[in-house]
Structure formats: structure tokens, C-alpha cells
Amino acid sequence: MASPITLEQLERRRRGMLIGLLVGFTLWMGADLAHRLGTLGSVPPAAVAWTVGVGTLGWVFYLFNFFRMVRMKRMLRRDPALAAAADDEYRKHLRLKAFATAFWVLLVLQPVLGMTLGTMPIRIGARISLIVGVVAAVGGFLLLDRDREAG
């Protein structure tokens, strides 16, 4: 069954959703991290109050785009040809490159975090690793997937 959407439209929407997920995730987790650092006294109390609002907004935005993605995947399941074209070998290649980039970024981050042992709880170091990993992978993919001029 053909979808009422072209591949170009789908790619644009998908890119928008990925950007939304990335922004939402960064705000949500970044605010949470700031809140945790605030409880250690590393962040001014006034700023900590803002983290709850920003974090909630980020979470809502992340959730909104997450459900958009789920809906799109359901639509693609009904159109296997479009789904295959939307996830072709070039896209798989970019995804692999993005994950590889994120891996190296995380590898470089670990000794840096290791130097903070004793001054910062391991939980916060793990949270930083999670945020950096996701941002590096998704952000890397978005950078690699930028549209070039059509021929």
C-alpha cells in the first residue's frame, strides 16, 4: 500500500524529528545534570530552580518527537518499498559513521571524567557519558546527513 508521502517529504520530516529529539533530550538531560550538580553546590541555587522548568520542557519536547517517530515507523511498515528507500545503504553507512564518531568521543571523554573521580560522584560522570554519547551520535548523524545541492 503506497503512502501519501514522498521520500523527500519523509526525509525532511524525519530530519526535523531527529533535531527535535536531540534538542529535547539535551534540554531534559542537561537540566537534570545541572540540577544534580546544583545539589552538590556546583551550580547557584537560583539557577537550580530554572532547571526543573527547562528539564520538563525538554522532556515534553522529546516525548512529542518520540511519538512522531513511532507514528512514522508504523506508517512505513505499511509501505515496505518506501521503508527500504528511506533506509538505503547510504543512510546505513552514515549511521555507522555516526556511531563510530560517538564511540571515539566517549573514549576520549573517559580519562577526562576519570580525572574528576573524588570530586564528583560516579553517577554524574555516567550521566555526562550518556548525554555526550547520545549528542555525539545523533548530532554526528545530522551533520553527516546534511543535504547537498541536487544535480
Question: Interface residues with other proteins (CB under 8 A)?
Answer: 7-8, 11, 81, 84-86, 88-91, 93, 145, 147-151
Residue (83 or 113) nearer to other proteins, CB: 83
What's the rounded Cα separation, in Å, for the pair 105 and 135?
Answer: 10
Rounded to whole angstroms, how far apart are CA atoms 68 and 73? Answer: 9
Please state the closest distance from residue 81 (CB atom) to other proteins, in A. 7
117: left (phi over 0), alpha (psi -120 to 50) or beta: beta
Least Cβ distance, residue 88 to other proteins (angstroms): 4
Coil/strand/helix, residue 150: coil
Residue placing its CB nearer to other proteins in the complex, 44 or 80: 80
Phi, psi of 115 (to 5 degrees): -70, -20
In the bound state with other proteins, the residue whose beta carbon lies nearer, of 107 and 147, is 147
**Residue 84 beta carbon to other proteins: minimum distance, rounded to whole angstroms:** 6
